[in-house]
Amino acid sequence: MPVVNVDPDELRRLTGHDEKSDEAFKEDLFALGLEFEGETEDGQLQLEFGPDRLDRLSVEGVARSLRYQYGDDRGVYVPNTNDPDWTVVVDDSVPDERPYVTGAVIRGVDLDDDALDSLIQLQEKLHATMGRKRAKGAIGIHDLTMLKGAGYGDDGGNSVTYRGVDPEGDRFVPLDADREMTPADVLESHPTGETYAPLVDEYDRYPAIYDELGLFSFPPVINGRRTEVSTDSRELFVELTGTDQWTIDRMCNVICYALDARGATVEEVTVEYPDERLVRPNFEVDEKTVAHERIEGMLGVDLDVEEAVDLFERSGLDADPEADGETVTYEVSIPPYRTDVLHPLDLIDDVGRAYGFNDLDPSYPDVSTVGGRHERSVHESAVRTSLVGLGFEDLLNFHMISEAENYDRMGIGPGTDVVGGGAPVTITEPYSEDYTMLRTWALPSLLMVLENNTHRAYPQDLAEVGLAAAADDGENTGVAERRTVAGAVARHDATYEDAKSRLAALCHDFDADLATPATTHPTFIDGRAADVVIDGETVGVIGEVHPRVLVEHDLELPVAAFEFRLDALA
């Protein structure tokens, strides 16, 4: 979940609430869904929240939410914007994979160190969340005064061009570098370039933005050094590129609102696609209809219309009530920095936060149902209880395992016709070599536990009732899942008989008819292994574990073991 670092002094200043202590802020923020996680070294509050309200990814946004909650601000706020002077021309050469661009001009910013840090944090957090690590949307912020716009239109407007560039085409000096590089050089040898190279290195042409002087931005990878923003910057050019227009427009809005809160003025830009002209940022206000009854039903409380409107307004929304007989509905206006409102219910959630969910009285629902266990889990428990009664320690092991543990160390091979020899269900991109597949049987897990507990007292009689799986094209999931019962008796005088007597007792408990005709299985000693045949069906194997397998597991005493399908005891 996103974490935003917020300077409490900045928060006091931006909310206008000098009297609020850090503790008071923490309480108020908890009610809004921002959880205090800790403090940074320089005393900033680390706040964690769900990735819905991305407008809160900066101290300015957090302060705005608090001012609404306190009732200092009400209703939808939309900043005034100046008419466009700059145009972003989208050239035909723009890579098809990243066709969209948007932007804004910001004038009259006053960036001290804190404000600049906050802006950089906001940019990074937006990249990490909505921007999907820059794949879906990437932000570049530039010092406008360092740009030289190409003349555009009749009235002296300026323009930059979003276009494609050959990887080895034009050269520029990227941020954090001191020499000119081609885009390909950047991907190859610049640290930031290396990080983001996977986003573009398959493209024939790379995305780039040019002004009159040449390439100044290489989205989504890095900006040019020429237009780098500093605390001296007073006018900014914000550009965003990506794979979805709506997404980058909303990211742009979040940035514009944060800078507006610092007293800057937002100026529109024109985006000139070959077949369409947009004016951005898009501060259009959405509307949704919410029924009063639904609010009351969801919160479980009665509300006056005035109360409901107040709660909407303290959520930064406007609500226009309309009565139709007994029924009241609200036309709710939603500000353009909101990225999370997909349905009227999302607005009811806002009303609940403003009301204070923790002020609601919990009530046990007056709904009567009959409970019960699933027969599979009841059966599993019963078998487990029997095993424990026979003296087995009940175990619970992982379903994921490695090929080495599942097959090699047990002396069997995948895809062979023995118990445990099923075809593996493998994990596509395993992170750990210890967990690369689903276990085809449970005995390897028991032997691993024995191996890890040789320093513990014997006898060690272990059993597990759990999941095993093998690849099976006949299944809808491609995976045949089954429950398996495994038992191992490890003691200095363990013999086949020890395993057989316990297995027989277990079968007896479940009125199952057991036979053990001789078989061969590489995990067990020849002549001391048998098929487990229950009610006439071969369902498993039993025997004395082969010394080769014991030694492989560093065991210095004999182990007799069995494993069979749980459903045989049904």
Partner 1 sequence: MRLPESQVAVLEAASATEQRTIEQVSEATGLKPETVTGAAFDLEDAGLIEVSERTDASTELTDEGHRYHEAELPEVSLHRAALDGAGGDDPGVDIGRAVAKSELGDRANIALSNYERSGYGTVSNGVVVPDEVDPGADEVTAALAAVADGDTPGDDLLDLLERRDLVVRQERTVRSVTLTDEGVTALMEGVEAAETVDRLTPELLTSDEWQDVEFADYNVEADAPERRGGKVHILRQTAERVKDTLVGMGFREMDGPHADSEFWINDCLFMPQDHPARTHWDQFALDVPPMGEIPADLLDRVRSAHLAGVGDDGQGYHSPWTEEVARGVDLRGHTTSLSMRYLSGHEIGDLEPPERFFSVEKVYRNDTLDPTHLLEFFQIEGWVMAENLSVRDLMGTFEEFYAQFGITDLRFKPHYNPYTEPSFELFGEHPETGDLIEIGNSGMFREEVLRPLGVECDVMAWGLALERLLMLMYGFDDIRDVHGTLCDLDLLRNTEVLH
Q: What is the DSSP letter of 476?
A: T
Residue 52 or 408 with smaller CB distance to partner 1: 52
350 is in an annotated binding site: yes
- Smallest distance, partner 1 to C-beta of residue 3, A: 14
340 is in an annotated binding site: yes
Of 531, 524, 526, the residue nearest 560 (C-alpha): 524
Cα 122 from Cα 544, distance rounded (Å) = 64
Residue type, 295: I
How many Å separate Cα 239 from the centre of its chain?
26
Helix (H) or strand (E) holding 401: strand 400-401
- Smallest distance, partner 1 to C-beta of residue 486, A: 13
The SS3 call for residue 368 is: coil
Tokens of 569: 């005891």
Residue 298 or 515 with smaller CB distance to partner 1: 298
211 is in an annotated binding site: no
Residue 214 or 391 with smaller CB distance to partner 1: 391
Is residue 35 within 8 A of residue 78, CB to CB? The reply is no
Residue 116 or 291 with smaller CB distance to partner 1: 291
275 is in an annotated binding site: no
Of 184, 152, 147, the residue nearest 165 (C-alpha): 184
- Smallest distance, partner 1 to C-beta of residue 410, A: 14
Residue 35 or 567 with smaller CB distance to partner 1: 35
Tell me the H-state helices in 201-315: 245-261, 292-299, 305-313
Cα 12 from Cα 110, distance rounded (Å) = 19
- Smallest distance, partner 1 to C-beta of residue 296, A: 8
How many Å separate Cα 516 from the centre of its chain?
51
- Smallest distance, partner 1 to C-beta of residue 42, A: 26
Residue 479 or 518 with smaller CB distance to partner 1: 479
Residue 96 or 396 with smaller CB distance to partner 1: 396
Cis peptide before 335 (omega within 30 of 0): no
End-to-end CA distance of the chain: 45
Cα 144 from Cα 505, distance rounded (Å) = 84
- Smallest distance, partner 1 to C-beta of residue 371, A: 4
- Smallest distance, partner 1 to C-beta of residue 332, A: 9
Cα 402 from Cα 434, distance rounded (Å) = 5
Binding residues: 340, 346, 349-350
Annotated binding site for Mg(2+): 340, 346, 349-350
